A and B are shown apart, each in its own frame.
Chain A
């Protein structure tokens, strides 16, 4: 799959972030391995250490395997003052993991994120590419059972 994605992009350094984003999004475990870093650096003609520095700089990229769905809960002030704490507690209980961890069945990873730009619907979270707003414990339960059901 990586090769197919690479072919779509010009062999310039400035394609790097785009490639990493697209590839990681399509991978089940949402992470980038050393071999893949080598392959990308080879294609773009940049050093491996350069690719590594980009992977480690941006929060979106991971070198550790993660769950199929990434749940990101917003940790900034507008969400904090609108009951973000309850949402996090509900998620940790439902999934039986703490923030930063992945469920045993490798279905969910729970992470913090900076403001999602949805503070008018605080508290907010993002699952993969979708943002959910005006959360409360019941709403969170419904969303998680939907994701569980789908797969």
Chain B
């Protein structure tokens, strides 16, 4: 069931050795790319139908083509390595276990869109990955894969490493840009989009670590071949971060289209101690919580969109029967209350209220009116918040109102339970 493309070198090479990377075919795609026509590289990615792996699943070539057509010649490229969504750890592994791979993808992309400088924005908690990347960038410079006149192609490009400082919202693209500029991570109103006016007001391409990691493979196998993997709407493979009450938590790479159940049971070895699975949260704190009987759902961007939430980053958090829906919802609500940047009212005030309402259910104090309130508040936040944080903060609540409605009703009708 596993199909290893971006994780094929995991534990098979020494991540600190550029020679290991080269021997296993690394930087070959970059060499080839530097001889190609720039637009032609973007067309290859279009043929692959690669969609962003950071959560929003946006077609990668559209942003690239957009920036390639801008008049401004100072252009930036940013790798979003902020991975703050609870339950996700695949980008950390990409950086710790095969750090040259996504950097190769960044250099190829930079060449294609004529970017003049690159940044990797890595979350502040990833100390080990940070040191590995410092080392890796230096090795790449020494061997001529980064810096001036890369592999004698005349193309100059270097990458700077920037650390986050403990803020989840900085994974959102404009908040991230503000953070690199040395400001609090508060988003900007769109449009203009980052591809038009991004970092230091210059056209900027932002992609996730896993998105960049796919680029060398797309060039190597060809876009059409790549598009044969996975499903019609979601091509290629997905790194899944599996955690919670399972026997073998970890990162697994599967082609799109695999049922969640198979990942949990075959790769994850099922639930711990044979307990019954009660619920699974998909994508992370921002994703829906679904009951066990829905695990036949397949891993596919469009499936996730059925929940009206962008949960493509691929976390699967398994919770067994010992856990209560509201205890989990409280953790989720507190997370968003803490991480809200406070710029817009629905998110700033809404998350505070959600915590209070969930607590009411936990304390058996909730009434029918609270049920109506929590539902309408969640909808308003989803519809009116300025950025993805506030829009997706109520997803877990909305999904449980749908699939675990009895749990809510039980607490209202039988407060003594």
Complex alpha-carbon distance, A14 and B168, angstroms: 19
Chain A residues whose CB sits within 8 angstroms of the CB of B92 once the complex forms: 117-118
Whether B20 is near chain A, meaning CB under 8 Å from some CB there, is no
A131 adjacent to B85 (CB under 8 Å): no
13 A-B pairs whose Cβ atoms sit less than 8 Å apart in the complex: A13-B181, A14-B181, A17-B162, A59-B165, A61-B165, A77-B86, A77-B319, A114-B86, A118-B89, A118-B92, A120-B241, A131-B125, A131-B127
Whether B26 is near chain A, meaning CB under 8 Å from some CB there, is no
A78 adjacent to B87 (CB under 8 Å): yes
B125 adjacent to A122 (CB under 8 Å): no
Chain B residues whose CB sits within 8 angstroms of the CB of A46 once the complex forms: 182
For chain A, the count of residues having a C-beta within 8 Å of the partner chain is 39
8 Å CB contact of B183 from A54, A115, A121:
A54
* Most chain A C-beta atoms within 10 Å of own C-beta, residue among B166, B179, B281, B320: B166
Interface size grouping (class) on chain B: 35 or more
B167 adjacent to A57 (CB under 8 Å): yes
Complex alpha-carbon distance, A111 and B86, angstroms: 17
Question: Smallest distance from the beta carbon of A133 to chain B beta carbons, Å?
Answer: 10
Question: Smallest distance from the beta carbon of A149 to chain B beta carbons, Å?
Answer: 22
Complex alpha-carbon distance, A133 and B399, angstroms: 31
Q: Which of B228-236, B328-336, B384-392 contacts A (4 or more CB under 8 A)?
A: B328-336
A126 adjacent to B125 (CB under 8 Å): yes
Chain A 12-33: CB-based contact to B (< 8 A → 1; otherwise 0): 1111111011000000000000
B163 adjacent to A18 (CB under 8 Å): yes
Q: List B residues 119-154 near A (Cβ within 8 Å).
A: 123-128
B125 adjacent to A15 (CB under 8 Å): no
B242 adjacent to A120 (CB under 8 Å): yes
Q: Contacts A53-B184, A114-B335, A120-B243 hold; do A59 and B83 have CB atoms under 8 A apart?
A: no
B185 adjacent to A57 (CB under 8 Å): yes
Residues of A within 8 A of B (CB): 12-18, 20-21, 46, 50, 53-54, 57-61, 75-78, 80-82, 113-122, 126, 129-131
Chain B residues whose CB sits within 8 angstroms of the CB of A12 once the complex forms: 182
B89 adjacent to A120 (CB under 8 Å): yes
Chain A residues whose CB sits within 8 angstroms of the CB of B339 once the complex forms: 114
Whether B244 is near chain A, meaning CB under 8 Å from some CB there, is yes
Complex alpha-carbon distance, A18 and B130, angstroms: 13
Of all chain A residues, the one with the shortest Cβ separation from B167 is A58
Q: Contacts A78-B317, A81-B244, A117-B88 hold; do A14 and B182 have CB atoms under 8 A apart?
A: yes
Whether B251 is near chain A, meaning CB under 8 Å from some CB there, is yes
Which 9 pairs show the lowest CB-CB distances between chains A and B?
A59-B166, A57-B184, A76-B86, A58-B165, A115-B86, A119-B243, A16-B182, A60-B165, A78-B243
Q: Contacts A78-B87, A117-B126 hold; do A17 and B163 have CB atoms under 8 A apart?
A: yes
Chain B residues whose CB sits within 8 angstroms of the CB of A15 once the complex forms: 182
8 Å CB contact of B323 from A14, A20, A60, A81:
A81
Complex alpha-carbon distance, A115 and B285, angstroms: 10
Chain A residues whose CB sits within 8 angstroms of the CB of B84 once the complex forms: 114-115
Whether B338 is near chain A, meaning CB under 8 Å from some CB there, is yes
Of all chain A residues, the one with the shortest Cβ separation from B329 is A77
Chain B 152-192: CB-based contact to A (< 8 A → 1; otherwise 0): 00000000001111111000000000011111111000000
Whether B249 is near chain A, meaning CB under 8 Å from some CB there, is yes
Whether B291 is near chain A, meaning CB under 8 Å from some CB there, is no
Complex alpha-carbon distance, A45 and B186, angstroms: 21
A119 adjacent to B249 (CB under 8 Å): yes
Chain B residues whose CB sits within 8 angstroms of the CB of A54 once the complex forms: 182-184
B127 adjacent to A130 (CB under 8 Å): yes
Chain A residues whose CB sits within 8 angstroms of the CB of B259 once the complex forms: none
Question: Smallest distance from the beta carbon of A113 to chain B beta carbons, Å?
Answer: 7
A18 adjacent to B162 (CB under 8 Å): yes
Complex alpha-carbon distance, A46 and B182, angstroms: 11
Whether B55 is near chain A, meaning CB under 8 Å from some CB there, is no
Whether B250 is near chain A, meaning CB under 8 Å from some CB there, is yes
Q: List B residues 378-398 near A (Cβ within 8 Å).
A: none
Question: Smallest distance from the beta carbon of A62 to chain B beta carbons, Å?
Answer: 11
Complex alpha-carbon distance, A20 and B334, angstroms: 27
Chain B 83-127: CB-based contact to A (< 8 A → 1; otherwise 0): 111111101100000000000000000000000000000011111
Chain B residues whose CB sits within 8 angstroms of the CB of A119 once the complex forms: 86-89, 241, 243-244, 249, 317
Whether B245 is near chain A, meaning CB under 8 Å from some CB there, is yes
